[in-house]
Every structure is written in C-alpha cells, then in structure tokens.
Amino acid sequence: MNMEPNTVIIICAVVLLALIFMGSPIFVSLGTASIVGIVSLGGPDALIRLPAIMFTHLDGFVLLAVPLFLLMGQILFFSGIGADLYNSGNKWLSGVKGGLAMASTVACAVFGAMCGVSIAAAASIGSFSIPEMRKQGYHPGFAAGTVAAAGALSMLIPPSLLFILYGAIADVSVGKLFVGGIMPGIILAGMMCGYEWLAVKRNPALAPDIQEKITWGERFSSLKRLWPALVLIFLVLGTIYLGVATPTEAGAIGSVGALLIAVFVYGNFGWGKIRLVFTYTTRVTSAIMIIFACGVLFSVLLTMLKLPDQLAELIIHSGLTGWQIFILLNLVLLVLGMFVDGATAVVVTTPIVLPTVISLGYDPLWWGIILVVNLNMAVITPPVGLNLYAIKSIAEDISMSDIIRGSLPFVIVEMISLALFFVFKDLVLWLPGLMG
C-alpha cells in the first residue's frame, strides 16, 4: 500500500539526516533516501524504470565536459603557469597598497578562466603567493584568506564545473552560462581587489608598503610569459562565444592545448605527472557523476511528491516581496553550502528551487549565475569550506582560525555582489544575450 506524500517526506528526511550524521557519503545518503521515498510512493515496481532514467541523464553529451575540464585544470596545476600569472600581476601592481594580495586575486581569476576547479586555483596560486606575501611582511591570515577567497573565482569564471551540472539539470545552455559568468567574475574579482586595498589602507599592519622599484620595461616584459594563458582562454571561451565549439568540444580543445603548453612551453610534464593527473581526474569525475546520478533519483522523488510545484505556490502566495524571497533563498543556500560541497548543493537545490524561480519570472540562466556566486561563499565557510583546507595543506604553519578570519570578510564582499546582480540583472544577462 502506497504511503501519503507527507509521511514519505518525513521518512525521507529522517533517513537522509540519519545517514549524514552517521558519516555516510553524501551520494549514499541522498540515493538511499530517494529510493526509500520512491518505493514508499510507488511500490517496488517503481524501481524498474530508475536505471533507464539515470542512464538517460548521465548519457548527456554536455556531461563529457566534466572530465575534460578537470583534466585541463590538473595539467595546468602541474605545468607552472600559475607562477607566471602571479609574477606578472605582482610586477604590474607593485607600489599599490596590498599589491601582492591583488596580484594573487588577479592570478586566481585568470587561472579560473582556464580551470573550473576552485581548490586547484587556490593551491596552485597559493603555493608561491602566500610564501611571497609572508616574506614581504603580510599578515598570515590576510595572505591565506585572500588566496582562499580568490580561488573560488574558478567556480564562477568559466569554464565552471558547476555551470555544467546546473545546465544539465535545468536544461539551460551551458555555453550561455559560461559566457554569463564572465562579467560577474570580473566584477567580483575587482570588488575583492577593492576590499584588499581598503583593508590595507585602514590597517597598514596587514601589509607593509613595498618599496621595490619595478620599471615599465620589466612590467611589459612579464607579459611575454602570459601568451600561453591567453591562447588557452581563447581556445576555450573564444570558441564557445563565437559558436565554433560546444562546451564539451571546447573542453577537449582546452585539454589538448594545456597538454601541449605543459610539455613544449614549460617542459616539465613527465610520465609521473601524467599518472597523477589522470588518476585525480578519474577519481573526481567518478565522485561527481555518482552524486549527479543520485541527484537524478532525488529529482524523480520530488516529481512524484510534486514538492517543487507546491513550494513555488507556497512562496508566491506568501506575500513576500521579490527582495525578501531572494534573500531567503540565498540564506538557505549559504547555510547548505556550509555543510556540503558545491556540486552536491547544485544537484540537490536546483530541482527544488528552480520552479519557484521561474514562477517568479526570473531567468533560469540568471539564477544559475546567482547560485554559483552564492556557492563561492561555500568553499570559504566552515566546517566544509574546501578552499580553507586546500590553503591549510600548503601553509601548515598558519592556523585554521587565522585562515577563516582572513576569508570571512570576502563573504561580505560576495553578499554585496549578490545584491548588485539582483538589482542589475543585465550585468549577468547582457553578454549571453549577444550570442542569440
């Protein structure tokens, strides 16, 4: 006998929370709770069609971009291109208050335009920028927090793995999501640099003035080492924007381009690194796909419960204003992001929240950008904040409390950016609109 939907919701919530508190992996918790709910609603026969549904979603061409961009990011991580990005930014921002912190932010932003993995950007740039900042007298927490927050820009500045997952679930063009993330990514990077300048101006103890004299010749000379990065960015983003390649095809082109740069430009990519790169790519791709597959089961359960439609109707008739609903949704995402990784947050929340967003008249593409901006905060907020642990792994003598304190002001910066993108939606939608 099939159970009542309200009873099923309670049972699934109990199962999900119990498994999470027992320490089960998120995909096990989500998948088990979903199967329990589906069987409770439709009986054992409802399970028969689940494998076909899961295969149909996992067989999507766009999801091939996930391993390709992971592969590209790992190749770049081991290539040494991050050092050239930082050194060039350092020379151009020499003499500016907090210049080394700004150089780290700019380097992370450019690295993000080639790699959609935040911890790769944070670890790659942080491995040499944090020691350099500390050598110059920067406060350890400020140096670490700067790189942890700036590394998150890789989630927003395309190519972004979260955009791929969101596009696959929400049926939104991944290419337009990529292009839509460019302007918000640049704006957020600029806001971070603005905060760093203001923080140092108000509290000079965070970063002393550096008197090193850099000539204009040295500045322009540093740009010579940036051509591989610019070529790779064009190969990925340029081909997508011009309509020459799909995101998946651009990922393949970018992976080959990154490999050629690592081998022939930097000459430091041997078989040992190749093994590490492919091992990491395989493991992370498998983890993301398992979470995505369990998210498909969760979507089936939500559809059977008609929960997203009921939630949309409840919110629309609640009397709340657009601002209030926007703040409420983002607070829920912020709290969720403290406990789960970005991929899980996208997979779990999109089927629930998207019908409400559409019912309110908002563009699903715009919401995808807002979602990822919000999840930028997730990787720098405890207890799960992945970038915090990435920075701790390369700066073991800096306490986790200092890293967290250095990162938290950037959460406020990102909240301000969310309000900006809510008020001025064209900042998100203008570039994708030019694609037709």
pLDDT, tens only, 269-294: 788 888 998 998 899 888 888 888 88
- From 341, 230, 242, 254, select the one nearest 67 (Cα to Cα): 254
CA separation for the pair 145, 195 (Å, rounded): 12
Q: How confident is the model at residue 413 (pLDDT cuts 50, 70, 90)?
A: very high
pLDDT at 145 (0 to 100): 94
pLDDT at 436 (0 to 100): 63
More confident residue, 42 or 201: 201
pLDDT, tens only, 76-112: 888 878 878 888 887 888 778 888 899 999 999 988 8
Average pLDDT over residues 287-306: 86
Distances (CA, A) of 98 to 19, 133, 146, 149: 45, 10, 10, 15
**Residue whose pair of structure tokens reads 């998207």 in the numeric block:** 354
Looking at this protein, which amino acid is placed at residue 174?
V
pLDDT, tens only, 352-403: 899 989 988 899 999 999 999 999 998 898 877 888 988 998 888 899 999 9
Average pLDDT across the chain, whole number: 87
pLDDT at 2 (0 to 100): 67
pTM for the model: 0.88
Length of the chain: 436
Task: Tell me the torsion sign for CA atoms 142, 400, 147, 336.
Answer: negative
CA separation for the pair 349, 360 (Å, rounded): 17
Percent of the chain with pLDDT over 90: 32
Q: Residue 1: pLDDT above 60?
A: no
